[in-house]
């Protein structure tokens, strides 16, 4: 994908240029972002700065995403107000999930950058309910992203 600049070196249109450690600039238009401008019928909870929706590729029943309305690439690009709004909505997501199921625990977190598994470069927080028996050995929780480090 070529880099098209307007006079003066500014990007044309509404392009965001995102930097990752292992790649050069990556162009992404906010009009093609799956998290920008969500349809009202996918929103399960919201506040002034963010909304929650079901994950399109859930890893567990009830898996939700909490997403800021503002298009920012990752957690470290959020304002303190947005961070607070996301965490407040995480609490609401727990209530939404527990209306329909009875999880035994939760994994909550952000993937920041492609090296950490982020595939959509619009910040989002995973709220993943966990159920007894959903994995043979849950010990280590999020440490399992690097399998040989999970056991300790």
Q: How open is the CA angle 150-103-124, to the nearest 5 degrees?
A: 65
What pLDDT sits at residue 79? 98
Asked whether the beta carbons of 27 and 15 are under 8 A apart, the reply is yes
Catalytic residues, which ones? 124
CA distance 3 to 62: 39
Tell me which residues of the chain have a pLDDT lower than 70: 1-31
Say what the pLDDT of residue 141 is: 84
Confidence at residue 12, expressed as pLDDT on a 0 to 100 scale: 38
The 3 state secondary structure assigned to 17-76 is EEEECCEEEEEEEHHHCCCCCCCHHHEEEECCCEEEEECCCCCCCCCEEEEECCCCCCHH
Domains of the chain as residue ranges with CATH: 15-134 (3.30.428.10)
Q: What is the pLDDT of residue 14?
A: 36
Q: Angle CA(142)–CA(49)–CA(67) in degrees, nearest 5?
A: 35
pLDDT number for residue 136: 85
Residue 55 · residue 61 · CB < 8 Å: no
SS3 120: coil
Phi and psi angles of residue 17, each rounded to the nearest 5 degrees, phi first: -110, 120
What pLDDT, on a 0 to 100 scale, did the predictor assign at position 73? 97
Measured CA to CA, the distance from residue 59 to residue 115 in angstroms comes to 20
pLDDT of residue 26: 38
Strand partners, 68: 50
């Amino acid at each position: 994908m070529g880099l098209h600049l307007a006079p003066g070196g500014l990007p044309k249109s509404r392009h965001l240029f995102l930097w990752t450690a292992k790649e050069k600039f990556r162009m992404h238009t906010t009009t093609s972002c799956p998290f920008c401008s969500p349809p009202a019928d996918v929103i399960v909870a919201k506040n002034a700065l963010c909304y929650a929706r079901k994950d399109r590729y859930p890893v567990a029943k009830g898996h939700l995403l909490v997403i800021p309305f503002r298009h920012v690439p990752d957690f470290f690009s959020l304002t303190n107000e947005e961070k607070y709004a996301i965490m407040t909505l995480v609490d609401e997501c727990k209530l939404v999930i527990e209306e329909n199921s009875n999880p035994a625990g939760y994994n909550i977190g952000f993937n920041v950058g492609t090296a950490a598994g982020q595939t959509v470069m619009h910040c989002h927080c995973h709220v993943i309910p966990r159920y007894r028996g959903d994995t043979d050995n849950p010990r280590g929780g999020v440490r399992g992203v690097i399998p040989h480090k999970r056991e300790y």
